[in-house]
Structure 1
């Protein structure tokens, strides 16, 4: 498979492919997980960094010098 074809796959398809399982219950859990969690941001040279949101307790992603919540959109300075 070419890189282009792999990049065209949905996040759900990639997760199911990585899991390499035929168990319908496990596959349904993976589909539910992909549908209810946000896509991570593009990886920066520093990698992906996460923390908990102080408002809604969901996941915050480090975006340059800001923490940005993937759920409520709350932002915090990464360098207090």
Structure 2
């Protein structure tokens, strides 16, 4: 498979491929997980950094010098 074709796959497809299971219950749980969790931002030069949101307790991603909540959109300076 070419790199382009692999990059075009969805996050759900990547997770299903990594799980390597034919069990329909496990596959359904993976699909639900992918649908209910945010996609991580593109990885920057320093990797991916996360913390908890003080408002809704979901995941905040560090994007440049700003923390952004993936669920409620709350933002904080680093």
TM-score (norm 2): 0.97
User: SS of 2:72's equivalent?
Assistant: coil
Q: Describe how 1:8-47 pairs up with structure 2 within 5 A.
A: 8-47=8-47
Say how many residue pairs are matched.
Answer: 78
| Distance in 1 of aligned mates of 2:14 and 2:35 | 13
CA shift for structure 1 position 74: 0.2
Write out per-residue CA displacement over residues 26-60 of structure 1, whole angstroms, 9 at most, x where no aligned residue.
11100000111111000000000000000000000
Listed as ranges, the gaps of 5+ residues in structure 1 are none
TM-score (norm 1): 0.95
| Distance in 2 of aligned mates of 1:24 and 1:51 | 33
Q: Name the residue aligned to 1:73.
A: 73
Q: Describe how 1:45-60 pairs up with structure 2 within 5 A.
A: 45-60=45-60
CA shift for structure 1 position 23: 1.1
